[in-house]
Amino acid sequence: MLSTLGRGSYLVHRRRFLGLSSAAVAGAGLGLGTGPVGTLAQENDARPVLVVAQNFIPPSLDPSASSYELISGGQAETLTRVTDDFGIEPWLAESITQVDPTTWQIALRQNATFWDGAPVDAEAVVASLHWSWASIAGSEGFIDPETAITAVDAWMVELVTPAPDAALPNNLASLYFPIVKPGEDGSYLLTGPYIPDELNPDESFTATAFDGHWGGAPAFAALEARLVPDANTAILALQSGEVDLVSSVPVDMVDLITGEFEVASVEGSRVHHVMFNHTSPLMADPAVRTAFSLAIDRATLNELAASGHGTVTTNPFPASSSIGAQPPADPDPDGAATLLDEAGWVLGDDGVRERDGQRLELLIGSYAGRPELTPLGIGIQDQLNDLGFAIEVQEAADITEFLSGDDWDASMYSINTLSTGDALYLLNAAYVTDGIYNYGRYSNPALDELVAEIQSSSDTEERSSLIDQAVALLVEDAANVWILTMPRTIAFDPGAIASVDISPNDLYFIGDRIVPAG
């Protein structure tokens, strides 16, 4: 579906997003065209338009609510970004230097601009970091708001943290710190290669190339992301030529994509797991949590829910990351039964265990956004039945709303565990007592103390040792049960796209990683 379009059909929406007049747009050198509204790209623009079927699009164009989607979609950028081997590299920054344990200096790219042509200079970056603290919930958990941020000169920013923070370059790559310039009337200016045109949150999102981008003119004149939550529908749209690329192909559907279409996959950093509600009387019992973990057969679950395409993991991180020792993955239902027996959970005549009048009945939530999760939950339900668990799997329409309640014992969940390339991200977000993704209310003072030590340590070997200790503590405590690392899998039409360089980190997708055919 290689096509070229005129650029002006969404110009009115771009003006609303940028808060610019048409004269200001033209004067900013954005290449937006000043012709009549009704064309999306310049008539003489020979570059194709990329049409993608996605299972999510930005819920809004406010980066405080949609920074993940805007980074993934090629609109927002951060000072640093994560490499494919989970290292860290400059992005809008040109370099980062640690002056002493608490002082960092960031040299900025002098050719980077916002969409209106204003430079991404030190003054703008200082303002943007303060904007994140004020506007994006959870940002203060990754860079301490007591950090002093100053413009040393026009192109140098200095950060002085209240305590040593070895993960600062990684945290600058997080979705909490996109570089943003608030515009007029509540609009926002960003720096990425594609400028939003129009958003219909229930249908589609369109954007046009920002030819003034510091990395050079984008390969596509424009892009259209169509919201297609159902994977079967997305694959049919690819095969019928309605879209050029499907951004997320469930692993059990890979074999359905035949003919001239291509599938590309890379092992990702997203881990499917069972989150425990530690305020549930059942899951507050460590014997129940540990028995649950011991009894499940991860390899069988992988075949059942992911057609064998996942990679078994037994701690919060992908096995390929080498973070923390991976405990044995072989199931031990006999050991699990002994543990429950010793804890007083007696097997009843109906096959369900009980203790002091309380039956071992668990409600496990799930959601459709990650298609492997509900089959994993059903597989776990079957595997734990013989052990004396009575499990109900309930798929929620809104998993965040489900988890915010109290009437659940466990839930299937998935998280990008190396979003910043550093283990501290996950530990801080999901396992410290007040973590922003700690929906299970897990709280362990020893873990909190270890995370604080990791945060302040600047010695690489010491930090690695502390991270391994934290992972070992989580596994020993059966804080959650980790099952599979999932690959990132996409499908595309080679008639429209020559190649796709997939990042293991699903924070990155559209940018310079998709090359048009021809």
Does the structure show a pLDDT above 90 at 518?
A: no
Across the range 395-406, mean pLDDT stands at: 94
The band of 320, judged by pLDDT with boundaries at 50, 70 and 90, is confident
**Tokens for 204?**
């589609």
User: For position 107, what pLDDT does the model report?
Assistant: 98
For 53-88, how does the pLDDT look when each residue is reduced to its tens digit (9 = 90+)? 998 899 999 999 999 999 999 999 999 999 998 999
State if pTM tops 0.95: no
More confident residue, 255 or 356: 356
Q: Would you state the pLDDT for residue 43?
A: 63
The reply to whether 268-487 shares the fold of 80-179 is: no
CATH number of 80-179: 3.90.76.10
Lowest mean pLDDT segment, chosen from 40-54, 189-203, 368-382: 40-54
Residue tagged 């301490």 (tokens):
144
- Topology, domain 8-75+186-229+493-516: D-Maltodextrin-Binding Protein; domain 2 (3.40.190)
Please compute the mean of the pLDDT values over residues 172-188 and round it to a whole number. Answer: 91
Q: What per-residue confidence (pLDDT) applies to 42? A: 54
pLDDT band at 10 (very low <50, low <70, confident <90, very high): very low
Q: Model confidence over 354-371: pLDDT tens digits?
A: 999 999 999 999 998 888
Strands, DSSP E only, in 161-294?
Answer: 181-182, 188-189, 194-200, 204-209, 222-227, 245-246, 262-276
281: which 2 tokens? 């009387």
Is the model's pLDDT at 223 over the cut of 50? yes
Mean pLDDT of the chain: 89
Residue 211 confidence (pLDDT) above 90: yes
Domain ranges of the chain: 8-75+186-229+493-516, 80-179, 268-487
Q: Of the given ranges (207-211, 263-267, 290-294), which has the lowest mean pLDDT?
A: 263-267
Q: How is the beta sheet containing 93-100 ordered, strand by strand?
A: 93-100, 103-108, 156-160, 148-153
Give residue 31's pLDDT band: very low, low, confident or very high (50, 70, 90): very low
State how far the Cα of 376 lies from the Cα of 355, in Å rounded to an integer. 27
**Which token pair is 108?**
């900025």
Burial of 445 (C-beta count, 10 Å sphere; 0-12/13-18/19+): exposed
Q: Is 199 exposed, middle or buried (0-12, 13-18, 19+ CB in 10 A)?
A: buried
Structure tokens at 377: 């939950």
Topology (CATH) of 268-487: Dipeptide-binding Protein; domain 3 (3.10.105)
pLDDT surpasses 70 at 233: yes
